[in-house]
Amino acid sequence: MKNFLIVVLIFFSLLVCSLAQAVSLKVSPAALNINGQANVLIQKEIEITNPDNKVALFEVYPDSFSEIIKARPESFVLEGGQSKKVAITIKSREAGVFATYLSVVAKPLVGEPMMKANSGVKIPLQIILDERNGPFLLAALASFWQGRFTLPASLFLLAIAVVSLFWLFLKKKSSKI
């Protein structure tokens, strides 16, 4: 009798497991590293694919910083084998480094409500925003005053210095004539 109960329990456990429905998903790229400026709208794209043969509802959202990170569309349906590009937009008034995850969740649309299993992935998202919110010359000067010597700013200021010295040399030479 004990063996019979064990066999029945195993049979029903396997039956319940086989009834559960989950959807798989594929997301590209696997991570996002974004560099930009504060107060400037930045847009990147991710592509979400439904490799299953089942229809599924997909949702995309940031785990934190939802006030500056938006996904468009946030929710959509994909047939089996279909893909969709989702725009990820970032706009912050503050410079800094922001690190979070983009969550992509797939939910099956067909089947018993009790037997549906959601699946998902978390895409690492790192955002680095500079303080440059004015003309490049001001940003270059600000980087020198703050002790952050960036190559483009250094080359730009060096070019201004060389052109200024050359102009002074020509001006001085023309005044002697």
What is residue 29's predicted lDDT score, i.e. its pLDDT?
95
Assessment of whether the complete model's pTM goes beyond 0.75: no
Query: Which residue is associated with the tokens 């000067």?
Result: 141
Segment 106-126 shows an average pLDDT of 79
Domains of the chain, first to last: 17-130 (2.60.40.10), 136-176 (no CATH)
Model confidence band, residue 12 (pLDDT cutoffs 50, 70, 90): low
Question: What is the largest distance, in Å, between two alpha-carbon atoms of the chain?
Answer: 119
Model confidence band, residue 5 (pLDDT cutoffs 50, 70, 90): low
**pLDDT tens digits, residue range 68-111?**
999 999 999 999 899 999 999 998 888 889 999 999 999 888 76
How far is 27 from 8, CA to CA, in rounded Å? 40
Task: Assess contact for 23 and 52: CB atoms under 8 A.
Answer: yes
Find all residues with CB under 8 Å of 146, minimum gap 6, and list them.
Answer: none
C-alpha torsion 145→150→153→156, nearest 10? 130
Burial 14-24 (b: 16+ CB within 10 A, else e): eeeeeeebbbe
Model confidence band, residue 143 (pLDDT cutoffs 50, 70, 90): low
Q: Which of helix, strand or coil describes residue 55?
A: coil
